[in-house]
């Protein structure tokens, strides 16, 4: 995932979190931080699921 894709995914998740919490005002920083952690976990999980080059799953 390149930086542009990462930021787009964070933005998407932050909005979903905001909506799930009832669209509260003043929580942008917290929602962004939560989304960042989720995206970074997704990236790590995807990397762990990817077999090393030359190996098949």
Structure tokens at 53: 């080059």
C-alpha angle 53-37-11 in degrees, rounded to nearest 5: 100
- 45 — phi, psi (to 5°)? -65, -40
pLDDT at residue 57, as a whole number: 55
pLDDT at residue 51, as a whole number: 66
Q: Mind listing the pLDDT tens digit of every residue in the chain (57 residues)?
A: 899 999 999 999 999 999 999 999 999 999 999 999 999 999 999 988 766 666 555
Instruction: Give the C-alpha separation, 27 to 53, whole Å.
Output: 42
Contact call for residues 17 and 34 (beta carbons, < 8 A) = yes
pLDDT at residue 1, as a whole number: 87
pLDDT at residue 6, as a whole number: 97
Question: Whole-model pTM?
Answer: 0.80
């Amino acid at each position: 995932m390149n930086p542009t894709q990462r930021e787009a995914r964070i933005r998407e998740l932050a909005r979903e979190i905001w909506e799930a919490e009832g669209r509260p005002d003043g929580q942008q920083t917290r929602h962004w931080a939560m989304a960042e952690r989720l995206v970074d976990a997704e990236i790590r999980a995807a990397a762990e699921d990817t077999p090393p080059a030359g190996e098949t799953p």
